[in-house]
Amino acid sequence: MDLLEDVGVKPDRVVVGHLGNLVDPTVQIHKAICKRGAYVGFDRLGGPTDEPQVPMVMALVNAGFADRVMLSSDLARPNAIKRNGGPGYAKTLTVFLPKLKAAGATDDVIRQMTVDNPRQFLAFVPKTRRPA
């Protein structure tokens, strides 16, 4: 984050992805990123690695960082596509979100992490000239 900010990147234009792979029940690194104003991405959801990720996402929600979390699927192999026998593109919605709801996530929080946060992050922000 320091490097990005040093060259003028605004933290709210940064998503640090694959953070579900960093299994840490205390989510200290995740919280530090959120406190800086960047987003944390749990983006390999809907599979066998979900179990530690549910409490990590809930820890961030309970710490007040739902507005800095994005949830999605990382689908890169043909065998993950539904017609090839995999869980398909909707696996975050069909597999992970029910687990998150069972852990206590509300519909509003889920919407924030799956719709509102990505919409805000992906919104067009016109560039301004940097001084020479």
3-state helix/strand/coil string of the chain: CHHHHHCCCCHHHCEECCHHHCCCCCCHHHHHHHHCCCEEEECCCCCCCHHHHHHHHHHHHHCCCHHHEEECCCCCCHHHCHHHCCCCCCHHHHHHHHHHHHCCCCHHHHHHHHHHHHHHHHCCCCCCCCCC
Closest CA to 112 of 97, 126, 124: 97
Q: Please report, for the domain that includes residue 102, its CATH number.
A: 3.20.20.140
Q: Which residues lie closer than 8 Å to 3 by C-beta, 6 or more apart?
A: none
Residue 132 resides in a domain = no
Structural domain includes residue 78: yes
Full pLDDT tens readout for the chain, 132 residues? 999 999 999 999 999 999 988 999 999 999 999 999 999 999 989 877 788 999 999 999 999 999 999 999 888 788 888 899 888 888 899 989 999 999 999 999 999 999 999 999 999 877 777 777
Burial class (CB in 10 A: 0-12, 13-18, 19+), 36: middle
**pTM for the whole thing?**
0.88
User: Is residue 52 in a domain?
Assistant: yes
128 lies in a domain? no
Cβ-in-10-Å burial (0-12, 13-18, 19+) of 6 comes to exposed
Residue 127 lies in a domain: no
What's the domain count of the chain?
1
| pLDDT value, residue 70 | 98
Q: Which amino acid is at 38?
A: A
Tell me how far apart the terminal alpha carbons of the chain are, to the nearest angstrom. Answer: 23
Range of the domain at 17: 2-120
Answer yes or no: is 39 within a domain: yes
pLDDT at 116 (0 to 100)? 98
